[in-house]
Amino acid sequence: MPRTRHTAASALITVAALALTACGSGDPATAPAGAAGTAAAAGAVPTADVVSSVHKDEAAAKLLPADVRASGTLAIASSIGNPPSATYLPDGRTAAGTDIDFADAVARKLGLNLKREVASFEAILPALGSGKYDVGTGNFGVTEERRRTIDFVTYINDGQGFAVRDDSRLKDVTDLVQLCGLTVATGAGTTFEVTLAENRHRCSDAGRKPYEVKTYSEQGAIWGSLQQGRSDVVMSTINGLRYAVRQQKGVRFLNEFKRLDVGFAFKKGTPLAPAFQAAVNGLKADGTYDRILKKWGIGASAIRTSQISPPEIK
């Protein structure tokens, strides 16, 4: 969908809400001693280096296709703008987040260089199918619909949740019919958009006014719509919501709705999956995995072991 126009007020909210140019140092060298493995305070993006100490795992690297081992390079598409998954440091150029750290750490395990290109969330999965990129990151949840055309290698568990303004009467949303008559803001091309579309009829079936869904390509626009009263509730990632409500006043995390495994995304039938799986499990074994989660404050998203395209969590 076209990008939403912002007023000056909503632009300010975008900065405050998502800390895309957050207060705090953008230079990892200026991070305080002992910062490694700690989540940043509200308004700051963590800069601790938890990746550069990762060493190549020869056994995992041997699982790569011969042509990839020979070139030593992979093209990766990254969706940026939904922290803590991926955002920018204050310099406005350096990408940071759980997706970025995990991708960089896996590349080190496999002895690869990543050629990263920033792409919109909704464009990445189709581009994998066309062969434009080898791998994509965007906090992609593993669903049955996506598994038909995409292969995944999981590295965290996240999912769907809700947030509202402090003046909302909504409590925990355990059934989407609780949203009947309200306006829900969410991301374009996401599992949230699909879930809302598939269940909207239930309001009419119950004789109630259906909820309205407004989709946006930018997280700042989502939060601007909530703050300005153009929407009543936000549906987004659990980790993203918890991060965002710490960055702004007048909003609160409501509840988790559904958990989903999150993974690196590949074209269906990719030969890269076994190597990536081995690399993620290697990061768990050497402690890097836990350091990344601790850095971003998402310990509850840990998985026991990486899987290749597991069934959707029901």
User: DSSP assignment of 215-248, as one string?
Assistant: EESSHHHHHHHHHTTS-SEEEEEHHHHHHHHHHS
Percent of residues, the chain, with pLDDT higher than 90: 83
pLDDT tier for residue 273 given thresholds of 50, 70 and 90: very high
Strands 183-187 and 95-96: unpaired
By the 8 A CB rule, do 151 and 269 touch?
yes
Burial class (CB in 10 A: 0-12, 13-18, 19+), 197: exposed
Residue 206 CB neighbours (<10 A): 11
Over residues 156-178, mean pLDDT: 96
Q: pLDDT per residue over 117-158, tens digit each? A: 999 999 999 999 999 999 999 999 999 999 999 999 999 999
Q: pLDDT per residue over 40-73, tens digit each? A: 444 689 999 999 999 999 999 999 999 999 999 9
Percent of residues, the chain, with pLDDT higher than 70: 86
Please choose, from the candidates 293, 14, 258, 203, the residue with its C-alpha nearest in 3D space to the C-alpha of residue 5: 14
User: DSSP assignment of 46-60, as one string?
Assistant: -----STT----HHH
Here the tokens at position 40 are 């940043």
- Average confidence score pLDDT of the chain: 88
Reduced to 3 states, what is the DSSP secondary structure of residue 95? strand
Q: How far apart are CA 237 and CA 161, in angstroms?
A: 6
Between CA 155 and CA 42, with CA 259 as vertex, the angle to 5 degrees is 75
